[in-house]
Amino acid sequence: MDAGFEVVDVVGRPPSWATMVRRGLRRRCGRCGSREVFETRWRLRERCGGCGYRFKREPGFALGAWFLNFMVLESVHLAGAMAYIVWLSGHPGAGLVAPLLVGAVLAVTIPFLTYPHSQTLWAAIDLVMTPMELDEIVDAMDAMESVRGGP
């Protein structure tokens, strides 16, 4: 995917919010859809390898990604607790050890599995809430030109 820059990047419309969020959920750049966003499974690059978009635009970026990850975990725990309460109504003598163990295992595995997705999703949500300004677009263009060996 060649993500060159043209006048349309500055005066044109960015992708829709739904497109950006969908890209973020798929571990892609919300701006261009590139897969070149991770250094390792856990670490976002400073910039997108496809368009030069700076992911961590301000201090505290990781807090948003952490919050999304936490909300997924707590939603699963709530659904599990509700399911256990319903199941317990038909089995009044059931113990509490198994549900607690399941909850503990989920508390470890869910964040492990979903953190990379939460980082790109948060970057996309941040881009939806705060569209790139002209200086950021120019900065991204300059970063891509330096990577490609341009002028």
- What is the predicted pLDDT for the residue at 31? 93
Share of the chain above pLDDT 90, in %: 62
* Domain assignment present for 145: no
Contact (CB, 8 A) for 116 and 42: yes
* Domain assignment present for 74: yes
For residue range 16-33, list pLDDT tens digits in order. Answer: 999 999 999 999 999 999
* Domain assignment present for 147: no
Nearest-5° angle of CA 147, CA 117, CA 125?
A: 80
Nearest-10 Cα torsion for 18, 22, 25, 30: -80
For residue range 90-132, list pLDDT tens digits in order. Answer: 988 888 898 999 999 999 999 999 999 999 999 999 999 988 8
Mean pLDDT of 69-89: 94
**How does residue 1 score in pLDDT terms, banded at 50, 70 and 90?**
very low
* Domain assignment present for 143: no
How many structural domains compose the chain? 1
- Residue 47, beta-bridge partner list: 54
* Domain assignment present for 113: yes
Structure tokens, 46: 């400073």
- What is the predicted pLDDT for the residue at 144? 86
Rounded to two decimals, what is the model's pTM? 0.81
* Domain assignment present for 50: yes
- What is the predicted pLDDT for the residue at 11? 52
User: Which bin fits 52, alpha (ψ -120 to 50), beta or left (φ > 0)?
Assistant: left
- What's the domain range around 125? 7-138
Residues 125 and 21: their CA atoms lie apart, in Å, by 6
* Domain assignment present for 144: no
Model confidence at 10: pLDDT above 60? no
Residues 92 and 15: their CA atoms lie apart, in Å, by 53
C-alpha atoms less than 13 angstroms from C-alpha of 45 in its C-beta half-sphere? 18
Residues 134 and 132: their CA atoms lie apart, in Å, by 7
Contact (CB, 8 A) for 33 and 3: no
- What is the predicted pLDDT for the residue at 91? 86
